[in-house]
């Protein structure tokens, strides 16, 4: 074969574009069939890769040097120290050279063990995947540079043979990167499941009232990533959804509104601790209202994980104020009267019978008209004019209806006590009916 000439150097720039952007090369390969390498090109690439195994320590030094210079997380030495980086570089460079040299056999190690282990370890260490893949791309460039230099120093090497093998080199780099990424994602998913179970167990302990020591509360705050002064919210959710597990969707929806949450399932309800932070309570309630097919009870905001158990009881109480045939978000502070009557069903029935009994004996259509008039009149503070405007009727119509209500209920609505009794009875009515 003729001696390698300067033609190789003249043809390198086009290949360096792919060398620096292997993803572009992958996209190109996906739309164009690549012709198989000739026997000579395959043999040349095998010879060059096998020869580079003798230069492995120098290649590792080069890779570590470039990675430390170009990727800030590696430069800091946290979480990956220089010794660990060099060990990883040696394992992965050795693996890719063995693959290119076709030296692996059934009796030798799988060359993809190294990238799989690296992906697993970096996920455990919390190194972002983008930086890990960037280091792998640098490793690919180091291998390519070394192949070019080795070809230059090898007698009787035709330039076309190495250039033909460039695609194979980057295919190998892509395969190693894919093995690493897949392993990283598997490990990351496992870590997320493990952390989720730990958070759920911590929330269970808080709900069961086991937040009785400062040391436990400190560990719980670390596990849930809750600052001592952070505003929190407990919610209890009942759903008609037939999804196997609607919680991930709810978590994602709330997270998109800046509301991280931890969820557990208890009997027929789902329970969540929401990290409210600086988010106003009305914005959090708006986000909760967007969850489909749910009824939600919401506790008052609180600080300190020691208050989780009490806040959960408040959220459960608020949930019980939502009639069973409705979907709504009920904040306890807005439903205190409903909370009182739903907690005492016998008293609620007695209250409705005493203050609204005569109205309930009417035909449904007439009963609804008078109940709506009473409700609007009470909300208007007893104003006939405002009630008439809201009901779209004449003032005299409202006066006549109020007089009829007084006769049917045997109550004087000019009396403060009777007015309060009727207002509370109206709040209790949906729960008595259900």
Q: What is the pLDDT of residues 253-289, one digit of tens each?
A: 999 999 999 999 887 789 999 999 999 999 999 999 9
| pLDDT recorded at residue 163 | 79
Closest CA to 401 of 380, 376, 422, 381: 376
Q: Where are the domains of the chain?
A: 7-188, 214-334, 343-433
Q: Which homologous superfamily does the CATH classification assign to the domain defined by 7-188? A: Globins (1.10.490.10)
Q: How confident is the model at residue 96 (pLDDT cuts 50, 70, 90)?
A: very high
Query: pLDDT tens-digit profile of 345-401?
Result: 899 999 999 999 899 999 999 999 999 999 999 999 999 999 999 999 999 999 999
Fold of 214-334: Alpha-Beta Plaits (3.30.70)
| pLDDT recorded at residue 162 | 78
pLDDT at 209 exceeding the cut of 70: yes
Range 177-194 average pLDDT = 97
pTM comes to 0.67
Name the residue with higher pLDDT: 434 or 28. 434
Alpha helices in 208-256 (DSSP H): 214-224, 247-256
Residue 297 to residues 96, 273, 314, 430: CA-CA distances in angstroms? 57, 12, 8, 17
Is there a contact between 305 and 219 (Cβ–Cβ < 8 Å)? Answer: no
- CA 365, 371, 377, 381: dihedral to nearest 10 degrees? -170
Percent of the chain clearing pLDDT 70 (strictly above): 89
In this structure, whether the domain defined by 343-433 belongs to CATH 1.10.10.2840 is answered with: yes
| pLDDT recorded at residue 21 | 40
| pLDDT recorded at residue 309 | 94
| pLDDT recorded at residue 20 | 38
Taking all residues of the chain, what is their mean pLDDT, rounded to a whole number? 87
Question: Distance between CA 251 and CA 124 in Å, rounded?
Answer: 24
| pLDDT recorded at residue 17 | 37
């Amino acid at each position: 074969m003729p001696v390698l000439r300067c033609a190789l150097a003249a043809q390198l720039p086009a290949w360096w574009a792919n060398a620096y952007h292997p993803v572009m090369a992958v996209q190109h390969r996906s739309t164009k069939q690549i012709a198989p390498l000739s026997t000579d090109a395959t043999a040349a690439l095998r010879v060059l890769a096998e020869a580079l195994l003798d230069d492995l320590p120098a290649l590792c030094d080069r890779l570590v040097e470039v990675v430390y210079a170009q990727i800030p997380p590696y430069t800091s030495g946290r979480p990956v120290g220089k010794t660990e980086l060099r060990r990883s570089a040696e394992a992965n460079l050795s693996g890719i050279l063995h693959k290119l040299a076709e030296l692996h056999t059934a009796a030798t190690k799988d060359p993809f063990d190294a990238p799989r282990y690296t992906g697993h370890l970096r996920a455990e260490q919390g190194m972002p995947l983008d930086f890990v893949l960037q280091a792998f791309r640098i490793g690919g460039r180091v291998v390519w540079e070394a192949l070019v230099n080795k070809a230059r120093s090898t007698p009787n090497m035709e330039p076309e043979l190495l250039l033909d093998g460039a695609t194979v080199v980057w295919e190998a780099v892509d395969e190693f990167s894919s093995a690493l990424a897949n392993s990283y994602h598997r490990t990351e998913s496992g870590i997320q499941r493990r952390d989720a179970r730990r958070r759920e167990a911590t929330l269970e302990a808080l709900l069961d009232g086991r937040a009785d020591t400062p040391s436990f509360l400190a560990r719980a705050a670390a596990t849930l990533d809750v600052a001592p002064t952070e505003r929190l919210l407990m919610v209890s959710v009942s759903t008609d959804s037939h999804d196997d597990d609607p919680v991930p969707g709810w978590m994602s929806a709330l997270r998109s509104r800046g509301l991280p949450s931890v969820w557990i399932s208890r009997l027929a309800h789902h329970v969540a601790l929401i990290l409210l932070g600086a988010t106003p309570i009305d914005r959090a309630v708006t986000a909760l209202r967007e969850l489909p097919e749910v009824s939600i009870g919401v506790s008052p905001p609180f600080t300190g994980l020691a208050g989780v158990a009490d806040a959960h009881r408040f959220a459960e109480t608020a949930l019980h104020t939502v009639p069973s045939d409705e979907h709504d978000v009920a904040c306890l502070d807005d439903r205190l009267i409903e909370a009182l009557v739903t907690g005492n069903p016998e008293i609620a029935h007695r209250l409705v019978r005493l203050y609204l009994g005569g109205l309930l004996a009417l035909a449904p259509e007439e009963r609804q008209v008078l109940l709506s008039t009473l409700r609007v009149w009470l909300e208007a503070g007893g104003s006939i004019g405002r009630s008439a405007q809201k009901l779209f009727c004449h003032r005299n119509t409202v006066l006549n209806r109020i007089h009829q209500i007084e006769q049917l209920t045997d109550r004087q609505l000019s009396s403060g006590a009777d007015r309060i009794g009727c207002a509370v009875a109206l709040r209790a009515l949906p729960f008595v009916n259900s």
